[in-house]
Each structure stands twice: as structure tokens, then as C-alpha cells.
Amino acid sequence: MPEFLNLLPPQEALNELLSNLVGKTTNEEIDTVESLGRVTAEGVISDISIPTFPRSTVDGYAVRALDTYGASEALPAFLNVVGEVLMGSEPKFSIEATECGLIHTGGMLPQGSDAVVMVEYTQEVSEQEIEVMRSVAVGENVLKVGEDVVKGQEVFSPGTYLRPAEIGGLMAIGITRVKVVSRPRVGILSTGDEVVPPDQDVKPGQVRDINSYTLSALVEENGGVPIRYGILADKFEELKAGITHALSECDIVVVTAGSSVSVRDLTADVINQLGEPGVLVHGVNIRPGKPTILAVCDGKAVIGLSGNPVSGLVNAELFVVPVIAYLQGIQRSRPRPAVDAKLLLNLSSQAGREDWIPVLLHQEGDIYQAEPIFGKSNLIFSLARANGLLRIPPDATGLNAGEVVQVRLL
């Protein structure tokens, strides 16, 4: 039986993989409205300032701040109303000493005014006069020109992940089309003589293909384009031809099963014939997923995952998703949503190994409780029933019931 190569810590294994990748995917220009979840291919420069004019943040009266100093309910300041700012147009009047103008949220400040008094702190004396019962400072309740963005400013650097807020920002500066990195194409191959398509009745000794579909969903969720290449038999030449075909069309290739040390598990041997440097890591100090293969063939990532559905999906999160992000040039890592929770049961672990445990989170008032879901890594519903993953770090030998732990949300 071939020897398992040295087991690397997960982060060290990932660093080894990323350091051997070359190049990024191509770029394309798309409508900004369709760019959710995409990544900018170049910096975006604003050719305007935001706001483009001084505007009110409240409903009230545009004033000269000086005219309100010392105003109070007991001793209000009296100001003459000289006009109303109409929304969507430039004011037709200016503010002189002891004057004010009615203004609405978002309205443009008239010339001469430098602050806005909230309507709650005023009282009408007549149509032409109000009492101001609270003083304001210069700039109070006002957005200044360029307070958000200054003309010529780079608002987004290359490698920015576009969320709803970024899309709103692009629209605010008139960018209706944006250059983004093309979504990495991820080839997915299942192997095994026992694996059959999901729409086929299973015979004794057979199992339906789960991994092609869970991994496709994960890839799509994280910005890649999944391409399923079907099920390959445990034959060297068939596996070699399948991975070679996928490599010719994709930026990343993921092979499930065939990563364990066995005479029938040929993935590592095949990969080593497909390009340099070949297999970089065969074995990661993690549970589930110890036999994971990380390889680079002529600049492209080839990742071999366990055929066990839970193991394959958990390790795809740890190794496939970061490669998708790397190929898109994402500059700022996106933290995964996580919550603190009280562990309900004791968990044991092996020192030096990183463990990932599916858990079901229950909310009790303001406190989450994490209930471990025990099941072997070939039982997909143990993960389907979970809504979080709990990490046991390699320097721990377990966790105690009652401890507050961090749970990554699924």
C-alpha cells in the first residue's frame, strides 16, 4: 500500500496550493444591475463628487447658523421665511441675515445658508415667520459637497466584491456598466464504479452521485461556474482522459473520490502525469477529509476530495472556495457569518488535528445553543440537518459542554 504523504495543517496546505497557481481568469464588461456577487477587474474612478450639492438630511429650515446662536424655548430666535426649496431643483432664493427657507430631506441648501434646523425645533408664527427654539452649528443636518466621494477618487479598487451597497455606489456615480473578472469555470468529476446518476435506480452495492450536485451548488454560490463532467470509472486511462478534458476547458478541476490510499484510488497518480508541478499535498491534518489532494497542473488547480459527501463538501469550503476567490483577485477576504453559541455536549478531538463538526443551532432567548450532529462522513443528511459548523482547533483535545464556541453558519 502506498504511503500517505505528510499531513499538513489546513492553512499551510492551502498556502502551498495558492502559491503555485499562476494567472487569473479573463475580464468582461457587464451591466451593473447584473453584477451582484461579481468582482471588479479594474479600479473605478468617480468623475463626480457625491453629494454634488450641499443637501439637507432632515425636514426643517435652512438658516445661517449664526442667526440661531443662543436660541432656546424660553428665548427663541425669530426668522423670516423667504421661500421653500422645491425637490429636484435649485433654490430660486438666497438666505440673508435673520432669514430662512423651508427645506425637505435631500433638498439643496440655498445660497447663504450653512445649516438646517429640524422642523421639530421650530414653530410657525405666521406664513412668513417662525420661532427657532434650538441653536444649530455650521454644517449641522447638512451633507457637504464631496462628503461621501470626491471627484477623481478611486471608489473601488480592483478585486472588490460587489454587494448591494457597491452596486448602489456605482449607480450613484453613473456607472451603469462595469468591468468584472470572469467567473472561474470549475470542472467537477465523480469517480467510482459504484456511483450512478441520481435519476437511476440503485442496485445492491451502488450509490447515487451526490457530490457533483452539492459541489456545483457550492461553486455557484461562491461565484464560480460549475461544469459537471459526469461519472468516471476507476480506470487509469478513463480518469486521465476525463481530467485532461476538464483541464482544457476549466480554470479549476475538482475530482471526488479516488483520494484515499488504495490500489483502486488512482487520482494522485493520474494528476502527476497531467502537468507540473503535480501533486503538492496528499493528506491534510483535518477531520473529515484527511486524504484531500491539492495539486497544480501547469498553473491550474486540481483538487481531489473524498467521495464521502460530508467530507467532500466541508473540504470544498476550505480549499475550493478560496481558489475561486483567488482567481478572481478578491483583495479583501470575506468573513463567513458566525455566531457564538453554548455547546450542549462534550466533544473529543485528537491533538494536532483540526476537526469540523456539524451542529444544529437552537436559539434560547438571546443565546444560541449548539447541538453536535454525530454521523459518519458518508451520511449527507447529517450535514443537511445542520445549520452550522464548529471548528475544534488543532491545539485542543476537545471541547467541554457549556463552553461558548464560535459556529460558522451554513
Summarised one tens digit per residue, pLDDT across range 219-270 is 999 999 999 999 998 889 999 999 999 999 999 999 998 555 553 468 889 9
The closest of 311, 304, 316, 338 to 408, measured between CA atoms, is 338
The closest of 343, 347, 398, 399 to 371, measured between CA atoms, is 343
State pTM to two decimals: 0.82
Q: What angle do CA 37, 45, 169 make, to 5 degrees?
A: 45
Residue 140 gets the label, from left (phi > 0), alpha (psi -120 to 50) or beta, of beta
- Do 294 and 280 contact (CB within 8 A), yes or no? yes
How far is C-alpha 378 from the geometric centre of its chain's CA atoms?
A: 28
Q: Reduced to 3 DSSP states, what percent helix, strand and coil does the chain have, rounded to the nearest 5?
A: 20, 35, 45
Residue with cell 505528510: 6
CATH class of the structural domain 27-50+161-181: alpha beta
Q: What is the pLDDT of residue 262?
A: 58
Would you call 31 helix, strand, or coil by DSSP? Answer: strand
Architecture of domain 338-409: Beta Barrel (2.40)
Q: Which three cell numbers stand for residue 226?
A: 460549475
The closest of 96, 136, 137 to 119, measured between CA atoms, is 136
- Residues in the chain, how many? 410
CA distance 332 to 342: 30
CA distance 108 to 142: 9
The closest of 232, 235, 230, 240 to 272, measured between CA atoms, is 240
Q: What is the pLDDT of residue 204?
A: 92
pLDDT along the chain (410 residues), means of 10: 64 94 86 96 96 97 97 96 96 97 97 97 95 97 96 95 95 97 96 88 88 95 95 90 96 82 70 94 87 94 90 91 92 78 89 87 89 74 84 88 88
- Do 85 and 27 contact (CB within 8 A), yes or no? no
CA distance 174 to 171: 5
CATH class of the structural domain 55-143: mainly beta
CA distance 267 to 152: 52
Q: What is the pLDDT of residue 1?
A: 36
Q: What is the pLDDT of residue 59?
A: 98
The closest of 122, 113, 120 to 54, measured between CA atoms, is 113
CA distance 114 to 210: 64
Strands 300-305 and 347-348 come out as: unpaired
CATH number of 10-25+183-327: 3.40.980.10
Residue 12 gets the label, from left (phi > 0), alpha (psi -120 to 50) or beta, of alpha
Q: Which three cell numbers stand for residue 298?
A: 501547469
Partners of 64 in the beta sheet?
none
Q: Which three cell numbers stand for residue 181?
A: 473578472
Domain ranges of the chain: 10-25+183-327, 27-50+161-181, 55-143, 338-409
- Do 61 and 79 contact (CB within 8 A), yes or no? yes
CA atoms 403, 405, 409, 410: torsion sign:
negative
Phi, psi of 288, rounded to the nearest 5 degrees: -80, 165
The closest of 93, 97, 104 to 80, measured between CA atoms, is 97
Residues 6+ apart with CB under 8 A from 12: none
